[in-house]
Amino acid sequence: MEPGETFTCRFFTHVCEYIPVMGKPPVEDRAVYVSVMGSGAGLLSVSVERAEAPTLFIAGDSLVADYIGRYPYNPIVNGGSWGQNMLQYFDGLAVCNQAHGGMTTNCFRDDGHWDIVCRNIRPGDIFMMEFGHNDQKRRNLRPYGEYAANLRWYIHEIRKRGAYPVIVTSLSRIPSRDEDGYYDLLEEYADSCRRVGREWHVPVLDLHSHSFELLCRMGVEKCKVYFNDVTHTNDYGALLVADYLAEEIRSQGIGPLTACMNGFAGKPWEPDTSLYPDHTVSSDQKEERPILSTDLPELPYADCKHIRQLNGLKEAMAKGLLDPCLKFYHPFDEMPRGQFLYLFFKAVQAPPKRSYQGEYCDIYKYEWDAQNVQAALDAGLIDKETTKNSRFRPDDALTGGELLSMMIRSLHPADDREWTIPECEQQAKSLGLVWEGYERDGAVNRADCTVALVHMMNLTEEEKIYLPRHHRGFRIPTAAHKT
């Protein structure tokens, strides 16, 4: 806008409850918020009136959720999503974004977000969903199994209410590369979406294929300026994605949506790299982390209120081991071996990650856990006695002995990690790392597993001197043990 120029905008917004923080009830906020950005810009007037309009409900994870605008505003570090950008492409349509960080196809339903949609959606509304980034971290949400079943369930429930479902495949992360070229770990989840879409005659916006191909053409150096880490977009990336989705809606002629589109097509927004703060770590070097702070006064998990491990879990949250975006932690469930490594490498420094080299027959090179399995192998953290017949057993429950084995091995120098489980058990006892109810061959639950990692992280260098060591093929015991 030029100095002295005025701009008038009319739009619809859906005012209803939402869940900003897990563990709290939905917020009944009936306000409409309007922000104005610009040097010398000001808001002259606002008029709000009740009106009827169809609503686009959006479901998903942190790739889709609304982000706050930080002040002073800087688009290259401010988090953003396509979900919060969709309204600008429509007239006569409201948007209700119920996406939330950390969501899977299970969590969105179980944690209360789906209930809000059900209370507010009406015949003729649209339900657009993008899931996958967090589903792939759960061994029970395989792409062609429970993940696909959940997609079908949402489609069925939305159609029962007279509304229209639309599937969006997951945005690609910044692509990784191996000897075979670029790859991304979400292709099977995208393929599952396409299959379900064909099966149930539901429109599919194939964001994954488009974004993966686009990012590969760009190359890492160019595409990384659209991201805040390897997964989450900044405001430049969010608008880039939203522009594609709007164009794809037009191209497919998705009736309930195209009828309300306004023809808006913004100019390309080129990232201004001069806006990077000093000493900024490149986004392609930043591991994916929860978008909410882990500095919480209390745990958000409804199922952990009065358990004996509560204080340890609070400390685990403060140390960044836990996800603050979820309502349930399932503390007494077993911990799958494959899923455990994702947690373990938040507590322990992992070696440089590389693509999976094929040690085990039950690990697929391009699944989520594969790089963590390779990292554990490279670091000498896996006891070969636990992986016989070339099987890592990623879906088997982690046992107490296996947990102590990996913990104790990680405390030793990289060239001194060949310790048996009984030996690791003795060392763990000397360091006070064995928990109440420990069984060497029994499954360890999620709460005990997490708290044990906290205790390991709290060990001082002075305490670690009690560990024995190998010397020229012999074991040298310590002179004393911690009591």
- Considering the domain architecture, whether residues 259 and 387 belong to the same structural domain is answered as no
What b/e string do you get for 375-398 counting C-beta neighbours within 10 Å, with b at 16 or more? bbbbbbbbbeebbeeeebbbebbb
The 3-state DSSP class for residue 5 equals: coil
What DSSP state is assigned to residue 216?
Answer: H
Neighbouring-strand partners of residue 334: 445
- Considering the domain architecture, whether residues 377 and 413 belong to the same structural domain is answered as yes
Structural domain that includes position 59 = 55-285
- Do the domain assignments include residue 412? yes
The pLDDT assigned to 88 comes to 94
- Do the domain assignments include residue 8? no
- Considering the domain architecture, whether residues 239 and 379 belong to the same structural domain is answered as no
Would you say 440 and 400 are in contact if contact means Cβ atoms under 8 Å apart?
Answer: yes
Q: Which of 268, 285, 302 is the last residue of a domain?
A: 285
- Considering the domain architecture, whether residues 86 and 196 belong to the same structural domain is answered as yes
From the list 147, 141, 256, 244, the residue with the least C-alpha distance to 195 is: 147
- Considering the domain architecture, whether residues 219 and 326 belong to the same structural domain is answered as no
- Considering the domain architecture, whether residues 198 and 323 belong to the same structural domain is answered as no
The pLDDT assigned to 480 comes to 46
Q: What is the dihedral of CA 391, 392, 398, 399, to 10 degrees?
A: 60
Q: What is the pLDDT along the chain (483 residues), one digit of tens a residue?
A: 788 899 898 899 999 999 987 777 899 888 888 888 778 888 999 999 999 999 999 999 999 999 988 888 999 999 999 999 999 999 999 999 999 999 999 999 999 999 999 999 999 999 999 999 999 999 999 999 999 999 999 999 999 999 999 999 999 999 999 888 999 999 999 999 999 999 999 999 999 999 999 999 999 999 999 999 999 999 999 999 999 999 999 999 998 999 999 988 777 899 999 999 998 989 888 888 776 666 666 899 999 999 999 999 999 999 999 999 899 999 999 999 999 999 999 999 999 889 999 999 999 999 999 999 999 999 999 999 999 999 999 999 999 999 999 999 999 999 999 999 999 999 999 999 999 999 999 999 999 999 999 999 999 999 998 899 986 455 555 544 444
Length of the chain: 483
386/337 Cα distance (integer angstroms): 11
309/441 Cα distance (integer angstroms): 21
CA atoms within 13 A on the CB side of 294: 14
Q: Which of 252, 285, 318 is the last residue of a domain?
A: 285
What is the CATH number for 61?
Answer: 3.40.50.1110
Would you say 74 and 37 are in contact if contact means Cβ atoms under 8 Å apart?
Answer: no
Number of C-beta neighbours around residue 277 at 10 A: 8
Residue 59: its H or E element: strand 55-60
Relative to beta strand 181-183, strand 176-178 is antiparallel
Q: Which of 285, 300, 335 is the last residue of a domain?
A: 285
Domain tally for the chain? 2
- Do the domain assignments include residue 296? no
- Considering the domain architecture, whether residues 314 and 275 belong to the same structural domain is answered as no
- Do the domain assignments include residue 6? no
CA atoms within 13 A on the CB side of 358: 0
- Considering the domain architecture, whether residues 331 and 451 belong to the same structural domain is answered as yes
- Considering the domain architecture, whether residues 271 and 336 belong to the same structural domain is answered as no
Would you say 361 and 390 are in contact if contact means Cβ atoms under 8 Å apart?
Answer: yes
The pLDDT assigned to 479 comes to 44
- Do the domain assignments include residue 16? no
The pLDDT assigned to 482 comes to 47
173/231 Cα distance (integer angstroms): 5
Write the DSSP assignment of 239-306 as a string of letters: HHHHHHHHHHHHHHT-HHHHTTB----PPP----GGGSPTTPPPGGGSPP--SS-S--SS---TT-TT
- Do the domain assignments include residue 458? yes
Burial class of residue 224 (count of CB atoms within 10 Å of its CB; 0-12, 13-18, 19+): buried
pTM above 0.85, yes or no: yes
- Considering the domain architecture, whether residues 99 and 201 belong to the same structural domain is answered as yes
Tokens 């938040």, residue?
A: 346
- Do the domain assignments include residue 104? yes
- Considering the domain architecture, whether residues 279 and 314 belong to the same structural domain is answered as no
The pLDDT assigned to 51 comes to 92
- Considering the domain architecture, whether residues 152 and 272 belong to the same structural domain is answered as yes
- Do the domain assignments include residue 1? no
